[in-house]
Amino acid sequence: MATTYAKAAETAEAVEYAARLEHVSKSFTGPGGRHLVLDDISLDVAPGEFVTLLGASGCGKSTLLNLVAGLDQPSAGFITTDGRPALMFQEHALFPWLTAGKNIELALRLRGVGSSERRARAEELLELVRLTGAYGKRVHELSGGMRQRVALARALAQDSRLLLMDEPFAALDAITRDVLHDELTRIWEETGLSVLFVTHNVREAVRLAQRVVLLSSRPGRVAREWTVDIPQPRRIEDKPVAALSLKITEVLRGEIRRHGRY
């Protein structure tokens, strides 16, 4: 019943996980009564690990990510994270009246970075997401892909060790998404962050992750998981990526058939 933020720096101990979920369940009460969405989920994300959480629409992926983010509480079980996680969604949620740079600076201000440092740090983060020069641009001047880059920079500005991503590239065209997959892989390798990335797209899950965790539907349970030991950088059309995706898709189809919807 608890979300705890473990502070590694304070205990000076090496943490063995970036996130730990122990027997987590979540129910919602609606007009039809109580509705079990997540059932007894146990899952660890190791420090520096990239895990994708894959499942059909409505299986509870966002619910699970919100619990890890501490935005909601589990009905049963425990969630522990190494510090407060950063979050990134499908919708960029940038403030349209602020420039790209100021959107990032806002996140820096919220974590107490002094005003003299904020500008330089924002410029650095824009450089990291390959948007050098976009500091003064307003949100409406940026393409969808650029907005998600700013949203990623803003999430990185929180200086969390765990990044939670909820279908962040789902609304982008395939080419832009490909480029952002490359960027995310590069940034993950450069920063050593742990990432828990939610998607319903099997190939995206395999393209990005070291480990793919498949959730079943109604209720969401861990159905299967796969270690992906294909070297990075991968391409979504690489043969080993396609072959593993096919295998996972078959299992996912079985799950969907069992529950009668996608």
Ligand X SMILES: Nc1ncnc2c1ncn2[C@@H]1O[C@H](COP(=O)(O)OP(=O)(O)O)[C@@H](O)[C@H]1O
Residues that bind ligand X in the complex, under the rule CB under 6 A = 28, 30, 37, 55, 57-63
Shortest distance, position 217 Cβ to ligand X, whole Å: 8
Out of 52, 62, 80, 210, the residue judged to bind Mg ion by CB under 5 A = 62
Name the one range near Mg ion by CB under 5 A: 55-63, 122-130, 138-146, 178-186. 55-63
Q: Which is nearer to ligand X, 37 or 156 (CB)?
A: 37
Shortest distance, position 198 Cβ to Mg ion, whole Å: 7
Q: Which is nearer to ligand X, 62 or 80 (CB)?
A: 62
Judged by beta carbon distances under 5 to 8 A according to partner kind, the member of Mg ion, ligand X, none in contact with residue 30 is ligand X
Residue of 14, 21, 45 whose CA lies nearest to 162? 45
Tell me if 48 sits within 8 A of 196, measured CB to CB. Answer: no
Cα–Cα distance, 72 to 54 (Å, whole number): 20
CA count, 13 A, side-chain hemisphere, 236: 14
Shortest distance, position 26 Cβ to ligand X, whole Å: 8
Residues that bind Mg ion (CB under 5 A): 62
